[in-house]
Amino acid sequence: MLGKAILSVAGTALVVAGCSAPPPPPPPAPPTVHTPVPGEVEPAGCLGTGVTVKSGPVEVALGHRAVVLTLTNCGTTPRTLTGYPEVRLLDKKKQPMAVEVEHGTSYMAIDPGVSPQTVQPGGTLLSVVSWSNTVTAGSPEAGAYVTVAAATGDPEQRITVDTDLGTTGKLTLTAWNAALKH
């Protein structure tokens, strides 16, 4: 009887030892991370490049946030842009914050991808800046302003946008496009 009990316990240990979790899936490909280059900040209004950028209200959903940037051609000639605006986040003292700026799709916006976009005088292009208000460890951060340049090398405009980043330290940005993708 004692021999059967030992065999039974040993058999159970063998069966339990053979069970293990499957290996974890491979990590997803990292998103494109862009580091904007600081430029000259100009006051609101029509810039010498013939464009101006404004923001809408911050939209919220389940801990995610987004703001739509609207570029208006306030000049007299068409302007073609290809790609993403240059965006930097500033704190309440208007100092740059250390945040990653990713190009792509987020919970709040679908990135249409890069393609040439020509905006006629009086016309507009749109881009979405989004972030998550997630707090995992550490102190939450919040930005107070966003600087936006229509393209690399263009002057920046400073826009008041409250960004409650949590501890993510990341913004996601869509490319300029005539319409938002849903």
| 103 lies in some domain | yes
The whole-number pLDDT of residue 181 equals 82
Instruction: Write the CATH number for 139.
Output: 2.60.40
Q: How many residues does the chain have?
A: 182
Range of the domain at 119: 44-173
| 179 lies in some domain | no
What whole-number distance in Å separates Cα of residue 63 and Cα of residue 45? 33
Residue with tokens 């306030």: 74
The whole-number pLDDT of residue 41 equals 55
| 24 lies in some domain | no
DSSP string, the chain: -HHHHHHHHHHHHHHHHH--PPPPPPPPPPPEEE-PPP--EE-SS--TTSEEEEE-PPEEETTEEEEEEEEEE-SSS-EEEES--EEEEE-TTSPBP--EEEES--SS-B-----EEEE-TT-EEEEEEEEE-B-SSS--EEEEEEEEESSTTSPEEEEEEEEEEET--EEEEPPPBSS-B-
| 182 lies in some domain | no
| 33 lies in some domain | no
The whole-number pLDDT of residue 49 equals 93
The whole-number pLDDT of residue 66 equals 96
| 13 lies in some domain | no
The whole-number pLDDT of residue 6 equals 45
Domain count of the fold of the chain: 1
Q: What is the pTM of this model?
A: 0.76
For the chain, 182 residues long, the average pLDDT of each consecutive 10-residue run is 46 47 60 48 78 94 95 97 96 95 96 97 98 90 94 94 92 96 76
The whole-number pLDDT of residue 44 equals 66
The whole-number pLDDT of residue 20 equals 62
| 55 lies in some domain | yes
The whole-number pLDDT of residue 42 equals 55
| 29 lies in some domain | no
What whole-number distance in Å separates Cα of residue 126 and Cα of residue 181? 10
The whole-number pLDDT of residue 137 equals 85
